[in-house]
């Protein structure tokens, strides 16, 4: 990955952290305890005026490898 792309990602990460400190704190707590194979990750989205949508995944080993790589990118 080129340095300009890395800087762009870092800037976006910093803005996200400033805009959503409680969510980032929550994610840090979750990552701090570790995610292991078999963990269920669920996400819910509620748009104004619409019904809630929800989905989940059961974490597999390949997911853990991807998450580790993504985490390293944003450090």
pLDDT number for residue 2 = 80
Looking at the structure, tell me whether residues 40 and 53 fall in a common domain. yes
Tokens of 35: 């995610």
Looking at the structure, tell me whether residues 40 and 75 fall in a common domain. yes
The count of structural domains within the chain is 2
Over 70: is that where the pLDDT of 46 sits? yes
pLDDT number for residue 63 = 94
Q: How far apart are CA 28 and CA 20, in angstroms?
A: 12
User: Which range of residues forms the domain containing residue 48?
Assistant: 36-75
Looking at the structure, tell me whether residues 58 and 30 fall in a common domain. no
Looking at the structure, tell me whether residues 56 and 75 fall in a common domain. yes
Looking at the structure, tell me whether residues 27 and 48 fall in a common domain. no
- The reported pTM is 0.65
Tokens of 70: 């993504």
Q: Is 51 or 72 the better-scoring residue by pLDDT?
A: 51
Over 80: is that where the pLDDT of 16 sits? yes
Looking at the structure, tell me whether residues 29 and 43 fall in a common domain. no
């Amino acid at each position: 990955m080129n340095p300009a792309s890395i800087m762009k990602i870092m800037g976006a990460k910093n803005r996200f952290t400033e805009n959503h400190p409680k969510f980032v704190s929550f994610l840090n707590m979750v990552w701090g305890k570790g995610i292991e194979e078999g963990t269920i990750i669920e996400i819910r989205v509620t748009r104004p005026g619409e019904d809630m949508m929800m989905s989940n995944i059961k974490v597999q080993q390949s997911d853990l490898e991807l998450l580790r790589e993504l985490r390293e990118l944003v450090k």
